[in-house]
Structure 1
Amino acid sequence: MTSIDEKLQPILASVIRRNAGEAEFHQAVQGVLESLGLVVAKHPHYLDQALIERICEPERQIIFRIPWVDDAGHVQINRGFRVQFNSALGPYKGGMRFHPSVNVGIIKFLGFAQTFKNALTGLPIGGGKGGSDFDPKGRSEGEIMRFCQSLMTELHRHLGEYTDVPAGDVGVGGREIGYMFGQFKRLTNRYEAGVFTGKALAYGGSRARTEATGYGNTYFVRAMLETRGSSFDGRKVVVSGSGNVAIYTIEKVQSFGGKVIACSDSSGYVVDESGIDLALIKEIKDVRRGRIGEYAKARGAGAHFVPAGKGSVWDVPCDVAMPSATQNELSGKDAATLVKNGVIAVGEGANMPSTPEAIRLFQEARVLFGPGKAANAGGVATSALEMQQNASRDSWTFEQTEERLATIMRNIHDTCAATADEYGAPGNYVLGANIAGFVRVAEAMQMLGVI
């Protein structure tokens, strides 16, 4: 706690004591508190009425049992979570994650970060997150449907377009959203399209939502590069992951003239110095649901595959790194390697993918660093635009939606940069994002009273 203002150290100590064993949540809270010393020195009223303590405590935590029947007729049990973190700015908003690693600490860290991310968009949405330790890999369509229906049988009572609006996340795409929304509609007898985002176009989804997180991260990194008179043009880029965020990061980077030379999944990573073949990656991941090693086999001599445990995708020299897989995937060792190899910018497409040591090394080396709560806010911003279209019974073109996304990401970048300047830390997007998000939430909470 040495880097935290002494007035804020008791708050972190209390969070750690009250949320024992939840390391990711502790890390997320500490990361924000480290930025707030400058704020409370300038505006001490934020220490009144236990405001910061309340921001660190979820408004509601829901944990429930999910029983479902597999294809063999055996009953399986998973655990479900929904953490409704903060509704000062609007209904709780945040994705659902299906992955064996999911526990209440993971969901709380995601919900806490989501609160500030959503505030940065400037749109009227609060922060929440949910999910389950269910693993959809290797499960049949019928098993995934029955699981989603069982989850929603419990969770539906806590949702609503003015209450809590889930979306997708790791392990949850359009298929899972469809099954959950269908069960919600069945149980409530309401076609409340705005209760879920990330829906298919056939029943109220938004164009550009699938692409939004990856596109948005790329827009944010482009804005950072422009502050140094640079761009993506001709730059070598490494993107971790090969899911939705990574695929559309690759697509937008390529449209801006960058060359993505490596990407990954949990089985390892591929390197293709001539540039990743986006159509082939989409075929393998979106159609075959295969592993990244299949890319090297199909591509031939121009590409090679490195199995997990034999190295890191961050060993590949690049100008721009865009971690787009999962939390804490980019370590201090990885950051040191990237800096040594000449990286100039890092944009977090995933949530908290860089460890605190990695962030410190990037900042010490004056690498442009876009934290996830700012750089990957394009996904939830476009979800809010989907809610807007649902509320007005309207549907926008892809171009309209992407134009709004580009404007929102530019505004987020400029807000973070201006806030960092205001507090005497020019170019520190971590501090800028944390303070700008905090101030917006804190001001709303003060106006609403002690609730």
Structure 2
Amino acid sequence: MKTLEEVQDIHMESAKVYVDELFEKVQQRNPNEAEFHQAVKEVFESLIPVLAKNPEYIEQSVLDRMVEPERMIIFRVPWVDDQGKTQVNRGFRVQFNSAIGPYKGGLRFHPSVNGSIVKFLGFEQIFKNSLTGQPIGGGKGGSDFDPKGKSDVEIMRFCQSFMAELSKHIGPYTDVPAGDIGVGAREIGYLFGEYKKIRGTFEAGVLTGKAIGYGGSLGRKEATGYGTVYFVDEMLKAQKESFDGSTVVVSGSGNVSIYAMEKATQLGAKVVACSDSSGYIYDENGIDIDLVKQLKEVESKRIHEYVETHPEAVFVANHADIWSVACDIALPCATQNEIDKEAAEQLVANGVKAVGEGANMPSTLDAIDVFLKNNVLFAPAKAANAGGVAVSALEMAQNSARLSWTFEEVDVKLQNIMRDIYQNSMEASVEYGAPGNLVVGANIAGFTKVADAMVSQGVI
């Protein structure tokens, strides 16, 4: 008769074999999709102890079903530029999992958008949305359209063409898109206007990230950046550390980055560097956030123009080198895989004590290993940057109830949600034998809620 430990070892080995075989199938079924493979591998490795302890998940092929989108929509987006020439882009929407609520996830307009990018983002969104505690499933979408350099009229024409197809697949109780890279209040407005025209109804809850005047939520613009800092603050407080007096480097200078810098500064930190695709600025006196807002949110200028107002600051024409700047806390808020192994080693060598991912999957798997092996406090994206979608869900709730909450009310709810995500992730890491590993904890906490819902609903 086998001992309990022997039985547990058998279950663990069985789970590992299952995960390895399934990951191989994912690679074969989705060739040349490196970003999707990366996202899946990171989650799979965390779930082995969960599958060993709960073999019914394997028996009912929960993970097999979860890794396959419920629906993947690809469509043509023709539009006419200001010269009268017809342009054609490609549109995407992946509706990944609706076990706990309607699909929810942003739209990204950027030349890099392809099937792999959309699928990795949608897969991550399943777990991120689950962690928020809100009733929302995982989805994502976008286009390889680049808003940069386009006139407002060109962007409007594109958004109208994009929504002409997307409108067939979304709705307040079906799929609720939002903004992401390249999609802000302007784009959401054009998309909403076209949806309203096509449907002939005012369905405020069909899109989030709307302007305040027609159903948007106060605090939504700040939510992802603020939420990242709230989560990292919880992580620091558990170690008797804080933002107060810390030096911070934040990549990017868009919506997430600006409000991560703002909140970190409010908590007593000095943010010394931020970036855009042209390079990064370093200001040893602390970044002038109001100036960055003016340059980026109002004037749509490049970050190097910061030094014209602050000549004591330095501009470096290579955004990737921002991670060579010494800091206590690093907040990657730009894009996926911006911190590789070499950059992670540089951060460790310079004494970084905490990393909080404000962007989606900004650290490679090798970089994450470097941080964890060197005892750097690490806040993974699906937990740390969940504040944006959390407040999007709060926007949906306000739309459904036909009311509006104050900024302070939304902010308190956001703080509570981020605190709960931290606590739930930490508890899951302890329960499954990886105490303090928030990568493992967040993956498990997000997974089990969705998996249990899928089991309850049968094979669909």
Take 1:40 and 1:160, find their aligned partners in 2: how far apart are those partners? 34
The gaps in structure 2 that reach 5 residues or longer are 1-12
Give, in angstroms, the shift of residue 204 of structure 1: 0.3
1:109 counterpart = 2:84: no
Answering whether residue 198 of structure 2 is matched by residue 210 of structure 1, we say no
The residue identity in structure 2 corresponding to 1:304 is V
Q: Deviation at 1:297?
A: 1.9
The answer for the alignment partner of 2:287 in structure 1 is: 276
Q: Give the whole-Å Cα distance in 1 for the aligned partners of 2:297 and 2:334.
A: 16
2:235 to 224, 227, 250: 224
Structure 1 residue 259: deviation in Å?
A: 0.6
Structure 2 equivalent of residue 449 of structure 1: 458
- 2:29 is aligned with 1:7: no
SS in 2 for 1:157: coil
Counterparts of 1:248-327 in structure 2 under 5 Å?
248-301=259-312, 303-308=313-318, 312-327=321-336
Instruction: Please give the per-residue CA displacement for 1:383-404, whole angstroms capped at 9, x wherever unaligned.
Output: 0000000000000000000000
Aligned to 2:107: 96
How many Å apart are 1:7 and its aligned residue?
Answer: 2.1
Deviation at 1:48, TM superposition (A): 1.4
Aligned match of 2:418: 409
Looking at structure 2, the residues matched to 165 and 111 of structure 1 have their Cα atoms a distance apart, in angstroms, of: 13
C-alpha distance in 2 between matches for 1:361 and 1:107: 27
Per-residue Cα deviation, 1:173-194 (whole angstroms, up to 9, x for no partner): 0000000000000000010000
Write out aligned runs for 1:43-442 (5 A). Answer: 43-301=54-312, 303-308=313-318, 312-442=321-451
For each residue in 1:19-47, what CA deviation from the matched residue of structure 2 results, as whole angstroms up to 9, or x when unmatched? Answer: 11010000000000000111111111110
- Residue 300 of structure 1 and its aligned partner are, at CA, apart by 1.3
State the distance in 2 between where 1:247 and 1:51 align: 39
**2: CA distance, partners of 1:296 / 1:326:** 24
Hey, what does 1:32 align to over in structure 2? 43
* Distance in structure 2 (CA, Å) of the matches to 1:329 and 1:273: 23
The one-letter code sitting in structure 2 at the alignment partner of 1:366 is N
Partner SS for 1:8? helix
Post-superposition Cα deviations, 1:54-90, rounded to whole Å, max 9, x if no partner, equal 0000000000000000000000000000000000000
* Superimposed CA distance per residue, residues 121-154 of structure 1 (whole angstroms, 9 cap, x where no aligned partner): 0110000000000000000000000000000001
Counterpart AA for 2:256: V
Task: Write the deviation string for residues 325-364 of structure 1: whole angstroms up to 9, x where unpaired.
Answer: 0000011000000001110000000000000010000000
In structure 2, C-alpha distance between the alignment counterparts of 1:296 and 1:82, rounded to whole Å? 40
CA-to-aligned-CA distance 1:299-341 (integer Å, 9 cap, x gap): 112x0000027x6100000000000000000110000000011
Q: Which moved more, 1:208-217 or 1:42-51?
A: 42-51
Alpha-carbon distance between aligned partners in 2 of 1:449 and 1:126, rounded to the nearest angstrom: 17
Looking at structure 2, the residues matched to 121 and 47 of structure 1 have their Cα atoms a distance apart, in angstroms, of: 25
2:294 and 2:311 map into 1 onto residues whose CA distance is 16
State the alpha-carbon separation in 2 of the partners of residues 344 and 259 from structure 1: 15
3-state SS of paired residue (2:69):
coil
CA distance in 2, matches of 1:48, 1:138: 52
Residues of 2 paired with 1:130 and 1:439: CA distance? 25
1:22 & 1:291 partners in 2: Cα distance?
Answer: 31
Q: Classify the secondary structure of the residue corresponding to 1:282.
A: helix
1:92-129 CA deviation, whole Å, 9 max, x = no partner?
A: 00000000000011000000000000000011000000
Encode CA deviations 1:274-304: one digit per residue, 9 max, x unaligned: 1000110001001110111001222112x00
Distance 1:168 1:306 in 2: 29
Find the aligned partners of 1:331 and 1:35 in 2 and give their Cα distance: 20
In the alignment, the residues of structure 2 paired with residue 5 and residue 33 of structure 1 have an alpha-carbon distance, to the nearest angstrom, of 9
> Scaled by the length of structure 2, what TM-score is found?
0.96
Task: Give aligned-pair identity as a percent.
Answer: 61
CA distance in 2, matches of 1:49, 1:40: 11
How many Å separate the matches in 1 of 2:248 and 2:164?
Answer: 43
Q: The residue matched to 1:399 in structure 2 has which SS?
A: helix
Report the counterpart of residue 5 of structure 2 in structure 1: none
Secondary structure, counterpart of 2:60 in structure 1: helix
> By how many angstroms is 1:417 displaced?
0.5
Dislocated runs of 4+, deviation >6 Å: none
Return the letter of the residue paired with 2:93: R
Distance in 2 of aligned mates of 1:393 and 1:41: 45
Q: Secondary structure at the match of 2:78?
A: strand
CA distance in 1, matches of 2:261, 2:399: 29
Aligned residues between the structures: 447
In the TM superposition, residue 382 of structure 1 has moved relative to its aligned partner by 0.1
Q: Secondary structure at the match of 1:358?
A: helix
State the one-letter code of the partner of 1:393: R
Task: Give secondary structure in 2 for the equivalent of 1:47.
Answer: helix
Gaps spanning 5+ residues in structure 1: where? none
- Partners of 2:88 and 2:175 lie apart in 1 by 25
What's the CA shift for 1:49?
A: 2.0
CA RMSD after TM alignment? 1.0
SS at match of 1:172: coil
